C-alpha cells in the first residue's frame, strides 16, 4: 500500500522541479567598474544572479580568476574591492521566449548601450 505522505512529498518535489524549469533568470546589460581607474567592462548576461554570485565568490575568496580575463590584471593590482557591478539595463525573460532569444536579446541590447558610452571609459 502506498504511503500518502510519501506520495505528497513526491508530488511537491515534482511541482518544485517544474516551477524551477519554468522560472527564467533575469538577463541584463552590466558594467563592472574599476572605481580606482574609472574604466569599466561592458557586458551582457543571461543570468544576472549568477554574475553577482561570481563577483561575490571572487571577493570572498580573494581570487581574481572568477572574473573576466580582461579584469584580472587590474584586480590583482587594485584588489577585488575596487570593482563594482552596475546594472545598465534589465530584460524580462518570459517563459514564452526561446533559448535563442534569451541569448541574443541581451547581446543586442549590449551593442546599443556600447554605442551610447564613451569608448575611452571601456576596458
30 phi and psi, to 5 degrees?
-135, 160
- Which pLDDT score, from 0 to 100, does residue 55 have? 92
**Is 102 within the bounds of a domain?**
yes
**Is 1 within the bounds of a domain?**
no
**Is 38 within the bounds of a domain?**
yes
Query: Is the predicted pLDDT of residue 105 greater than 80, yes or no?
Result: yes
pLDDT tens-digit series, residues 21-52: 777 789 999 999 999 999 999 999 999 999 99
**Is 11 within the bounds of a domain?**
no
Q: Quick one: pLDDT band at residue 70, thresholds 50, 70, 90?
A: very high
**Is 103 within the bounds of a domain?**
yes
**Is 21 within the bounds of a domain?**
no
Which CATH number goes with the domain that contains 53?
3.40.1440.10
> Could you tell me the pTM of the whole model?
0.77
- Half-sphere exposure in the Cβ direction for 64 (13 Å, CA): 16
Rounded Cα distance between 73 and 31, Å, is 17
| Total domain count, the chain | 1
**Is 13 within the bounds of a domain?**
no
Query: Is the predicted pLDDT of residue 2 greater than 80, yes or no?
Result: no
41 lies in which domain range?
26-121
Amino acid at each position: 500500500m502506498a504511503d500518502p505522505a510519501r506520495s505528497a512529498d513526491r508530488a511537491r518535489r515534482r511541482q518544485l522541479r517544474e516551477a524551477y524549469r519554468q522560472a527564467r533568470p533575469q538577463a541584463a546589460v552590466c558594467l563592472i567598474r574599476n572605481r580606482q581607474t574609472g574604466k569599466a567592462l561592458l557586458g551582457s548576461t543571461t543570468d544576472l544572479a549568477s554574475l553577482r554570485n561570481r563577483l561575490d565568490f571572487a571577493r570572498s575568496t580573494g581570487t581574481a580568476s572568477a572574473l573576466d580575463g580582461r579584469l584580472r590584471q587590474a584586480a590583482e593590482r587594485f584588489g577585488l574591492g575596487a570593482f563594482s557591478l552596475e546594472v545598465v539595463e534589465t530584460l524580462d525573460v518570459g517563459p514564452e521566449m526561446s533559448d535563442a532569444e534569451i541569448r541574443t536579446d541581451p547581446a543586442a541590447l549590449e551593442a546599443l548601450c556600447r554605442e551610447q558610452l564613451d569608448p575611452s571609459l571601456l576596458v
